[in-house]
Structure 1
C-alpha cells in the first residue's frame, strides 16, 4: 500500500512535467495556428472561409471517431493496462506490440473506407451540414468542392492519431505533442504561395486552404514515424481480428462511438443553424472557437493527455484512492489555467479580436461579430476543461457508457438553447448554446462520478477554484481599464488604437492574475512556476 501511495505521488509530480511537454508542443502548434487564422482572415473573403470551415469540419469531426477520439481513448487504456500488468521487458511488451499492429490494421481499413465514402458523398454531406447555403448557390458549390478535395485528410490524421496513442501510452509525449504544429506550417505555406497561381489557372484560390490541410496531415504521419520505430511500434499492420485486445477496444468503442455520434450531431446542428444566419456566421463562430482552443490546447488537453496513461494504470490495479487523487490534482491545475482564460476572453473579447485579426479582408464589423461569439465561448472554457478532466476518469475505469448518456443529454440541452437563443442573439446565440450545454455536461459528469470514486475531493477543488476566480476577476478589471486607457492615447481609427489596447490588456491581465494568485496563496502556482524555471535552467545549461 505504501509503495502504491509513493508511486501515486511520483505520478502526480510527473504529471505537470509531462503536461508541460504536451503543452509546449501544443503552444507551438497554437501559435502557428493563430498565425494561420490571422492569415485566413486577412487573405480570404468570409464566403471562402465560410466554405472551408464547413468542409474542414466534416472530416475533422469524423477524425474524432476514427482517430484521436474513440479509437485512441479505447487503445490507450488497453495498451497501458498490458504494460502495467505484464512483464514489460518480455511477454508484455511483445503482446502489446502485436496488439497495436492488429489495431492499426483495423484502423487503416476503416479510414480508407471512410475516405472513399466521404469523397463520393460530398454533396449530401454538405446538404446535411450547410443546407442553408442552398439560398447561396455559389457558396454551396464551393463548399461541396472543398469537402470533396479535403476529405482524405481524415486518412492521414486518423493514422497519426493512432500513432500518438502508442507514444502516449509509452510516456513518449514530445513527438506526439509537436507533430500537430506541422499542420499549421503547411497551412501557412500554401495560403501564401498558392492563391496567386490558383487564380491565374482559373482555380478557386480558397483551395489553398484545402491543400494545406492535406499536406499537414501527411507531414504529421511522416514526422512521428521515427519515434514509433524507436519504441518498436512501426511494424507492418496485421489483421488478426481474434486478438482479445482488439475485441476489448471494440467493446470500449461501441458506446464511445455513440457518444462521438452525439457530438457529430451537435456539430451538424450548429453548422446547420449557422448556415441559415447569413454570410460570415460560420467564420465568426469558427474564429471564436479557434481563439478558445488556444488556452484549451496548451494546458487542458495537455493535462488530460498526460493523465490518461496514469489513470489507466491505477484503474488496472484497482487503486481507486490514488486514481482519485491524481484526477483531483489534474482538475485543480486545469481550472487554475482555464478560469482566468475564461475571464480574460469574456471581458477582453473586443480588444483581443481587434489586435489579432482585424486587418486586410477582416473588417471592424467582422471583429465586433467575432467578439460577440468569443464572449460566450470564452466564458465556457473552464467548463470544457472540467469535462476534459472528468471523461478520462470514466475511460480509465472502463466505463464508456456514462459519458455517452451525458453527451446525449448535453445535445438535448444544446438544441433547446440554440432554438431559443438564435433569434434574439443571431450567430452569438449558437455560441451561447454551446456554453450552456457544456455546463450541463460538466454537472452531470460530476454527479455520475460520485457513484464510482470513494472521494471526489470536491472541497479541495472548490477552494482552489474560488481563489482562482477571485484573482481572475481582479485581473480582468485591470485588463479592461488598461485597454480603455491605451485606446485613448492613439489617433481615432489608427493602427495603434486598433492593436495596442489588446496587447496591453493581455499583458496587464496576466501580470495581475499572477500577482493576485500569489497573494491569495494559490498552491497550483508553485508547480507551474517551478516547471517553467526548470525548463529555463535546462535551456541555459544547453547553451
Structure 2
C-alpha cells in the first residue's frame, strides 16, 4: 500500500484544507503587499524606515517565538489529545488556562521591555548608537509597538483552538486586518504631515487588539467561550509549557536568523535593514500563503495519527505535505530569482524608494530566494516533530543553524554587504532542513518516499528559471507575464507526470463545485 493510500487523511483532503488557509492567507498577503507599497511610498528606505522596522521586528520576533512558532505548535497536539480523550469542555478549560498564563507572562515581559527599551534597542540594533537621534526615535517606537505581543499571542491561541476544530479561515484572515490598519495609519500620517513611523507604531498596537476581537464570533460559533472552568495547574498546561520551552528556539529559527541579520545589518550602510525587510516580505508571500498554510493544515492530522500510533499514515501525510509544499516553493524560487528586479521595481519603486533602493533590494531578494525551499520545508518537518512530542531535537539543530548563520553572515557581509546576510540566512536554513530530515529518520525509520517527484519538480523549476533569464521585457510586462509562467510550469509538471499538479486541479474543481 502506498503512503497516499494508507488510512491517513487523503492527500486531496489535506490539499483542500491547505487551500482554505492559502486562500485566506492570499488575501492577507495581498493586503500586506499593498501595505508595504504604501510604507515604501510614505517612508522610503532611509533612517526612519530602519527605526520603524527595528521597533516592529522585536514584537514580531516574539510573535513567532511565543505565538505561531511555539504556542500554536505545542498547543494543538495537547488540545487535540484532550478533546479526543476527555471531551471538548476539558479542552476548552485548558485553552482558558493557557490564556491566563499568557496574560501573566507576557504582561510581565512587556513591563520589563517598556522599562528597558533602550538596552533592548541597543541589543537588536547596536549600530544605531552612532546616530543618537535615530537611536532615541527607535526606543520610542519600541515602547509603542511592544505591547502588540500580548494581543497577537492571544490571537495565536485562538488560531490553535479553531485549527484543532478544523476551522482555518478566520485565523488566516486576521493578518489582513493588521495590514488594513497599517495602511490607514501610514496614509493618514503622510497626508496630514505627521510622523509616518510614529503612526505606524500606534497602528501595530491597535491591529493586535482588532485581530483578537475578530476571532471571538468564530470561537463562539464553535462552542467556545472565555467564561468557564479553568485551572492554572492543569496537567495539559504543564505539558504545553514543557513543549514550549525548547520550541521557543527551535520553531522560530528563521526569525532568529533574520534578527541576527538585522543586528549585523545595523553596522552596514543606511538603508540595509530596509532592503532586507522588503526582500524578506516578498519571500514571505509564497512562504506564508502556501508553506505555512500546508503546515498549519497538516499539524492536527499529524498529531491525531501520532496519537493513534499510525506511523504509516503519519509518514504518508508528512510526505504529502512536503511534496505539495515544494511543488509551489521550487517554481516560486525560480520566479523570485528570475524576476527579482522587475518585482521590486513595480511594487516598491516609487516615491521615496529610488532606483538605488530597487537595485539593492533586488539583490537581497535573490539571496533570500535561494533559501525559499528550505524555509518552506521547515514548518512541515517541525510539525512532524511536535506531533511526536519531541521538541528537544529541533532545538539542538536550531542552535547549530543559528551559529552557522551568524558565522556566515559576518564572513559574507565583508564582501557582499546586505546580500551576504541574505545568503547566510538561506544557507543556514538548508543545513537546518537537512539535519531535521536526518534526525526524523532516526526516530521513524526511512520516511521520504516523494524523492522522484522532487527531482521532477526541480527540473521543471530550473527550466522555468532558464526561460525567465532569456526573456528581456520591461518591469511591468514581466509582472503581467507571471500568469503565463505559472501556466508553463503547470504544463511542464503535467508533462513530467507530477501527481501534485493533478491533485491540486482536482481540489480546485471540488471547491468550485465542478465535481
Mapping for residues 495-534 of structure 1, pairs under 5 Å:
498-504=475-481, 506-534=482-510
Superposition deviation, residue 427 in structure 1: 0.8
Checking the alignment, whether the CA contact within 8 Å between 2:251 and 2:382 is kept in structure 1 is: no
Which residue in the other structure is 1:461 paired with? 450
Greater displacement, 97-106 / 373-382: 97-106
Mapping for residues 61-72 of structure 1, pairs under 5 Å:
61-72=61-72
Superposition deviation, residue 215 in structure 1: 2.1
CA distance in 2, matches of 1:261, 1:474: 32
Q: Work out whether 1:160 is the aligned partner of 2:155.
A: yes
Which residue in the other structure is 1:352 paired with? 343
> What are the ranges of 5 or more consecutive residues in structure 2 without an aligned counterpart?
none
Greater RCO structure (CA 8 Å; 6+ sep): 2
Distance 1:265 1:22, change over 3 A: closer
CA distance in 2, matches of 1:461, 1:393: 16
Superposition deviation, residue 194 in structure 1: 2.6
CA distance in 1, matches of 2:478, 2:234: 59
Task: String of CA shifts for 1:262-312, please: whole Å, max 9, x gaps.
Answer: 667544432111101021100000001000000001110000000000000
Checking the alignment, whether the CA contact within 8 Å between 1:106 and 1:239 is kept in structure 2 is: no
Distance 1:435 1:6, change over 3 A: closer
CA distance in 2, matches of 1:428, 1:193: 34
SS at match of 2:196: coil
SS at match of 1:451: helix
Distance 1:147 1:309, change over 3 A: same
Superposition deviation, residue 104 in structure 1: 1.4
TM norm structure 1: 0.90
SS at match of 1:232: coil
Which residue in the other structure is 2:141 paired with? 146
Distance 1:6 1:382, change over 3 A: closer
Checking the alignment, whether the CA contact within 8 Å between 1:195 and 1:208 is kept in structure 2 is: no
Mapping for residues 15-34 of structure 1, pairs under 5 Å:
15-34=14-33
Distance 1:455 1:9, change over 3 A: farther
CA distance in 1, matches of 2:460, 2:222: 44
Greater displacement, 33-42 / 226-235: 226-235
Mapping for residues 488-499 of structure 1, pairs under 5 Å:
498-499=475-476
SS at match of 1:450: helix
Task: String of CA shifts for 1:10-68, please: whole Å, max 9, x gaps.
Answer: 4x331111101100111000000001111111111322211111100101111223322
Task: String of CA shifts for 1:490-531, please: whole Å, max 9, x gaps.
Answer: xxxxxxxx4333333x23322221121111111100121122
SS at match of 1:234: coil
Which residue in the other structure is 1:494 paired with? none
CA distance in 2, matches of 1:276, 1:371: 20
CA distance in 1, matches of 2:256, 2:166: 33
Q: Work out whether 1:479 is the aligned partner of 2:479.
A: no
Mapping for residues 321-400 of structure 1, pairs under 5 Å:
321-400=312-391
SS at match of 2:499: coil
Which residue in the other structure is 2:283 paired with? 292
Which residue in the other structure is 1:76 paired with? 76
CA distance in 2, matches of 1:293, 1:97: 32
CA distance in 1, matches of 2:147, 2:373: 33
CA distance in 2, matches of 1:127, 1:363: 29
Superposition deviation, residue 386 in structure 1: 1.4
Checking the alignment, whether the CA contact within 8 Å between 2:54 and 2:138 is kept in structure 1 is: yes
Checking the alignment, whether the CA contact within 8 Å between 2:93 and 2:230 is kept in structure 1 is: no
Distance 1:515 1:268, change over 3 A: closer
Greater displacement, 59-68 / 375-384: 59-68
Superposition deviation, residue 239 in structure 1: 5.9
CA distance in 1, matches of 2:255, 2:347: 30
Checking the alignment, whether the CA contact within 8 Å between 1:32 and 1:184 is kept in structure 2 is: yes
CA distance in 2, matches of 1:218, 1:530: 38
Checking the alignment, whether the CA contact within 8 Å between 2:94 and 2:230 is kept in structure 1 is: no
Which residue in the other structure is 1:170 paired with? 165
CA distance in 2, matches of 1:359, 1:197: 20
Superposition deviation, residue 198 in structure 1: 5.5
Superposition deviation, residue 237 in structure 1: 7.3
Q: What do you get for the CA RMSD once the two structures are aligned?
A: 2.1
Checking the alignment, whether the CA contact within 8 Å between 1:65 and 1:260 is kept in structure 2 is: yes
SS at match of 2:358: helix
Superposition deviation, residue 368 in structure 1: 0.5
CA distance in 1, matches of 2:178, 2:228: 25
CA distance in 2, matches of 1:291, 1:238: 43
